[in-house]
Amino acid sequence: MTVKILLTGSKGFLGSHTADCLNTNPDIRLTCSVQRLFSNADWAAELVGQQVVIHCAGLTNVFKNEFADTLSEFRRVNVQGTLKLCQQAATFGVRRFIFISSIKVNGEQTPLDRPFTATDTPAPVDAYGISKNEAEEGIRKVALETGMEIVIIRPPLVYGPNAKGNFARLLNLVNKGFLLPFGSIYNKRSLVSLDNLVDLIITCIKHPRAANQVFLAGDGQDLSTTELLRAIASATGVSSRLLPMPAFVLMFAASLLGKKAIAQRLLGSLQVDISKARNLLGWIPPLSVEEGLRRCFVENEDRL
């Protein structure tokens, strides 16, 4: 039976790739896709006849010079907009609502080899993570009140073709052969390739055991920053140029320069445990980190 799907965020990094994969799947029919998310939007026309909503749209960045209260702006879009869509989806008889949340709901950092799990008590730190956690709480309430099934997926950093932000900058620095002071970093960080995340999303469309569950997404292979940079170099076909410097020296220098948050992402650990998705859904990430990075570079090399 073909499943009719509404996808939000269809022009974004994750949404566009999700749309491409849905359109090649004979058991799924992407009947409607929308890009933006508004807190006061009326979704009635888009929701008629839909069986599943995949909600990828959301606000990820707020510039402080535009909004004095960044948390309020995140809440306006990520909480109010999500709940309006979820409530209307239930009203129109949508069977399952798949919400792409964030590992930031769990927190920002983990002790080495003590990964986040899907059952951890949420501990968001920044405004974005707080808004995603509040959205999760809201859609759970809608599910309890209406009987609509929900699925929550929390990815860590997502990488792939046309990735932006810090990951794109790392690709660029390695590809251009810059000497980087990250040759002896012994942290562990979980990533998820775009293809692996979309594969998990598609698995959750029909799988009966996905209903009303929270899943953490990941490649199943954690890397230190040093290992990641070497893997990127291998994927791009260049030599890695890494200077071994102690993490505490780099953290101290970053603190002096006002870049402590960036340093924490490069030097600290953030690991996720994907065993729940493996055990409950039988899901195995189809791509290795090496293959995910190779695909990332091959499709980005002209841009870089």
Residues across the chain: 304
Q: What is the 3-state secondary structure (H, E, C) of 241-301?
A: CECCCCHHHHHHHHHHCCCHHHHHHHHCCECECCHHHHHHHCCCCCCCHHHHHHHHHHHHC
* Pairing mode, strands 149-154 and 28-34: unpaired
Distance CA 226, CA 45 (A): 49
Residues with catalytic roles? 128
Pure H helices in the chain: 13-23, 44-47, 70-74, 82-91, 127-146, 165-175, 194-206, 225-236, 247-256, 260-267, 275-281, 289-300
The token duo for 290 is: 């090496």
Dihedrals φ, ψ of 189, to 5°? -135, 140
Distance CA 271, CA 222 (A): 7
CB-based contacts of 88: which residues, under 8 Å, 6+ apart?
Answer: 42, 43, 44, 47
Dihedrals φ, ψ of 180, to 5°? -115, 140
86 and 141 in contact (C-beta within 8 Å)?
A: no
Instruction: Report CA 30 to chain centroid distance, whole Å.
Output: 21
Q: Look at residues 299, 225, 267 and name the one whose alpha carbon lies nearest to residue 109.
A: 267
